[in-house]
Amino acid sequence: MESTMLAKAIVMAGSAIGAGLAMIAGIGPGIGQGFAAGKAAEAVGRQPEAKGDITSTMLFGCAVAESTGIYGLVVAMILLFVNPFIGKL
């Protein structure tokens, strides 16, 4: 009984650490979106007549970049709340 509780505690601790590591995936999209927004602002400053095309391209790129962060968030939520490893004990 006590070894089962210890095993569950270790699995929960590992899941919490894994969820924290999965959230590191949010750093990349944040940097990428900031860089894209800065470059889009520069481009609009150079060619104001192309503002619509530049903005739509930037928003599409930011949406693609954000998907990586969302995948990391989904993995973290699964590890914290669904925790598929507890059923393996």
Question: What DSSP assignment string belongs to 19-61?
Answer: HHHHGGGGHHHHHHHHHHHHHHHHHHHH-GGGHHHHHHHHHHH
- What is the distance, to the nearest Å, from the Cα of residue 29 to the centroid of all Cα atoms in its chain? 7
- Token representation of residue 39: 């470059």
**pTM, 2 dp:** 0.73
54-86 per-position pLDDT tens digit: 999 999 988 888 888 899 999 999 988 988 877
Q: Which fold has domain 2-82?
A: F1FO ATP Synthase (1.20.20)
18-60 per-position pLDDT tens digit: 999 999 988 988 898 899 999 999 999 999 999 999 999 999 9
The residue with tokens 């089962």 is 4
